[in-house]
Amino acid sequence: MFACLFCDGDLVRLTILRRAYILAALIATAAGYIGFFHLLPGADIFLSNDRVSATFKDPNVYGPFLIFPLLLLLIGVMTRTMRLSSVVIIAVLSGGLFLSFSRGAWAHFAISAAVAVALLIVTTPDPRTRARFLLFSIVAVAGVLLLVIAMMSIDSVHDLFLERAKAIQPYDVGPGGRFWEQKLALSVIIDHPNGMGPFTFSREYGTQQHDVYMQGFLVYGWLGGAAYLTFVVVTLAIGLGAVLVPTPWQSYLIAAYAAFVGEAAEGLIVDTDHWRHFFLLLGLIWGLTAATINFRRRSMVEPAFAESAAMVPSLL
């Protein structure tokens, strides 16, 4: 559905998507701030173990949800004019991402932002513009660090950050931990070539394996797991080919592709196949890739047509 919506590269639809997604992200982030700072009675519903989950049931879903609109805003500021409103929204969403205290979301954002900057530099032929992108990236990193330092001055934020900043959490190791479950899942996958079906692994062993690629093999069997993994790899491949082509919608494709790269990486430590925005990113990449292919075909055909049309009078 998403691919069909954007397969013609309609900039009006893309603009509507951008505005609606940013608005949704702001609403969710506002709920998160209200919950974290206890600004209203009963606002704890927007928290999960003192971490901001906002309008989502899990902070590990809320955090990644903010990354695509952040990339859209950052790319807009870098490639067009720097508006104060955009800078303020970036700061608000970045604060919301930080308060999710999701290590996966933090790493996801770092990977996606780096990919987005790299693609902007590669697709820009002007050396001055490339230098401006690098300078802006340095300023943006400094701004994020200042934002983190400012938020760390709040005692509740400081204590939770020190706890979440540890590379290994208690639930990662030992019997029943994330890594133990992943090791167990490997042996279970080998014993079940046809898969176990939805939620069977968690029912039998007490928890999920926290790896979307293992989940594909556990639930759908070897064929289904291989199909899912192939789908992700093919999406990364076709997206990379399309994102390098100059088109009117290139900035949207860069943002979607960079966000998807981070999300594909985060799939190694969390199940992402039920996230709605995951499928939006997939649809954007496939739809805009189709639009890019048609755009290149038209650009090749139209000059040839114009040249043949110019020869008609001389032939007559």
Distance separating alpha carbons of residues 251 and 122, to the nearest angstrom: 13
- Give the pLDDT of residue 315: 36
Residue-range definition of the domain harbouring residue 135 = 2-165+244-315
Query: Per the structure, how many domains does the chain have?
Result: 1
**117 occurs within a structural domain:** yes
- Give the pLDDT of residue 309: 44
- Give the pLDDT of residue 253: 97
Question: C-alpha distances in angstroms, 129 versus 84, 122, 132, 134, 218?
Answer: 21, 11, 5, 9, 47
Distance separating alpha carbons of residues 183 and 298, to the nearest angstrom: 51
**177 occurs within a structural domain:** no
**179 occurs within a structural domain:** no
- Give the pLDDT of residue 290: 96
**239 occurs within a structural domain:** no
**230 occurs within a structural domain:** no
- Give the pLDDT of residue 98: 92
**191 occurs within a structural domain:** no
Is 120 within 8 Å of 75 (Cβ atoms)?
A: yes
Q: Which residues of the chain have pLDDT under 50?
A: 305-306, 308-316
Name the pTM for this structure. 0.88
